[in-house]
Amino acid sequence: MKVTPVSEILGAEVTGIDLSGTLGSETKAALREAFLTYQVLVIRDQTLSPAQQVAFSKIWGDLEIPANIQHTTEESQNVMILSNEIRPDGTAVGVVDGGDFWHSDSSHVAVPSMITILQSVRNPDRGGDTEFCNMYAVYAALPQDLKQKIEGQYGIHHVSKTVNKRVTISPDRPGAKDFYEAQAAARAQVIQPLVLVHPETGRKALYCSPRFTVGIKGMSEEQADPILDELFAYVTDRKRPYHYRHKYRANDLVLWDNRCLCHRAVGGYGLPDIRRMHRTVVGGDRAYADQAAS
Ligand code: SIN
């Protein structure tokens, strides 16, 4: 197995490994070490079936069952389909607008996702990249006064796009407005520390995102907005100094660490060009905040 960095800020390519079989303990340990060092692993030349992807994903922890069960594979309900493909009856094959704004997966629930794994099943001719932002590097780059303002503070996170003024609803997703309105009514907000100490590396990372963080606990909108806008500018900065943009090759399997990264699906493709990803998620092993205190 060979591990080669893909950028100076994060990410490594892994070659010379076949994930379809059983991995030995030394290989697993080497993968984990590379993962904690580089935050994103791009494992080349994998053609895993949903069952094989599940087996590989389980070496990292227990898997989440996706909320939208109608968009999972027939072979496994742990594998969610992300795709822009629409069936002749107008229904979507997969989640059409997954990840279109910067976020860390499931920070809107008390125990957020730990690791996300995407197998590229079909790549569009153009577009379809995933972009990552190193939140350790962002935290390290914050000015001292901003660090002081956010130390010990909690972001308020919510899943629905209709309660977040910083995002928009994709017109490509059938029934999206009703979906997000129902979520706004049914789902509660949660709090997460704005500065997260990574449970495995002990390093501090900024933990908030334009997609899910809608306020700061104990602050009015007028107080919180300038702080959040300043923080989000680091994540969305057009110059992208803390970022790596992954352009998928056929048969890439990519996994990333949600505890120290934000990411987004860049888009830039459209029918009849089809993008299809198979996504598994390793669930978190802890809450980062005491929800009873919120
Ligand atoms: C995600 O946000 O989990 C998916 C990202 C992508 O489709 O590129």
pLDDT tens string for the chain (294 positions)? 999 999 999 999 999 999 999 999 999 999 999 999 999 999 999 999 999 999 999 999 999 999 888 999 999 999 999 999 999 998 999 998 778 899 999 999 999 999 999 999 999 999 999 999 999 999 999 999 999 999 999 999 999 999 999 998 877 777 888 888 888 888 999 999 999 999 999 999 999 999 999 999 999 999 999 999 999 999 998 788 999 999 999 999 999 999 999 999 999 999 999 999 999 999 999 999 987 655
Residue 82 CA to ligand 1 centre (angstroms): 8
Residue 267 CA to ligand 1 centre (angstroms): 10
* Candidate from 209, 264, 275, 278 with most ligand 1 atoms within 8 A of CB, to mutate: 264
Protein residue closest via CA to atom 6 of ligand 1: 265
Locate 228 and state its tokens: 């959040």
Contact status, residue 258 vs residue 111, Cβ threshold 8 Å: no
pTM: 0.95
d(CA 64, CA 77): 9
Only one residue has tokens 């520390």, namely 193
d(CA 266, CA 102): 9
Please name each of the domains of the chain with its CATH number: 2-282 (3.60.130.10)
* Candidate from 106, 114, 116, 132 with most ligand 1 atoms within 8 A of CB, to mutate: 116
End-to-end C-alpha distance for the chain, whole angstroms: 46
Paired with 43 in beta bridges are: 14, 253
